[in-house]
Chain A
Amino acid sequence: DAKTTQPNSMESNEEEPVHLPCNHSTISGTDYIHWYRQLPSQGPEYVIHGLTSNVNNRMASLAIAEDRKSSTLILHRATLRDAAVYYCILIMEYGNKLVFGAGTILRVKS
């Protein structure tokens, strides 16, 4: 599976937008970009995924660079409940497993 690179940690203020970056310079044309997050003492949960176009859902937005070598997960208004580890994961088109890296620890300050 292609490798992703994320910052170890980020900090945000409550009610402000958060942009979580992910680099995946070796991504192939059929790799899908998935984001999961893991709240304290819980299993990971799905956030969003995309291939080429930007995506929005009720939880977040995903902005994908034109060359697909990077992407950004956007939380529009961070809350304390968004404090978690965020994982950026590439999945091959016919792949059926998640390979996790270390992720980004997001801290939200009130």
Chain B
Amino acid sequence: EAGVAQSPRYKIIEKRQSVAFWCNPISGHATLYWYQQILGQGPKLLIQFQNNGVVDDSQLPKDRFSAERLKGVDSTLKIQPAKLEDSAVYLCASSPLRRLATGGELFFGEGSRLTVL
């Protein structure tokens, strides 16, 4: 079974430029998550989709970050304009179940590492 695919793996940009990350979840997974992981910290949830609807985007900096999940499959996370503090690994995850607590699990991609100079 193919895992969660993310691209690009690495991206270096200047501050104030824009960048986009793409995620293809495991086939059939209804729930998709984007996490931001700053070096030395645990991942922080940015946004959660259920099919193509947003469930939670309370921690997404909406003045510069946007995300969409068209047709309930692939997703794109965009940053515009980027700041130095956006340097991090952006992780995409998907899950087949709504009740994560009782037996579901999140499947993560390898992440996209962003460096903002």
Give A residues with C-beta under 8 Å from B: 31-32, 34, 36, 41-46, 49, 85, 87, 91-103
Contacts and interface: CB of A to CB of B under 8 A. Distances in A.
Main DSSP-derived SS at the B contact region = loop
B108 A43 contact: yes
A93 B106 CA distance: 16
A46 B106 contact: yes
B45 A97 contact: yes
A32 B101 contact: yes
A98 B106 contact: yes
B43 A44 contact: yes
Nearest to B45: A97
Interface residues of B, number: 29
B44 A43 contact: no
B68 interface: no
A87 B91 CA distance: 16
Interface of B: 4, 31, 33, 35, 41-45, 48, 55-56, 91, 93, 95, 98-111
22 contacts: A32-B102, A42-B108, A42-B111, A43-B91, A43-B93, A43-B110, A44-B93, A45-B108, A46-B105, A49-B101, A49-B105, A93-B102, A94-B101, A98-B33, A98-B45, A98-B100, A98-B106, A100-B42, A100-B43, A101-B42, A102-B42, A103-B42
A98 B42 CA distance: 11
The 4 closest A-B pairs by CB, nearest first: A43-B108, A100-B42, A46-B105, A91-B101
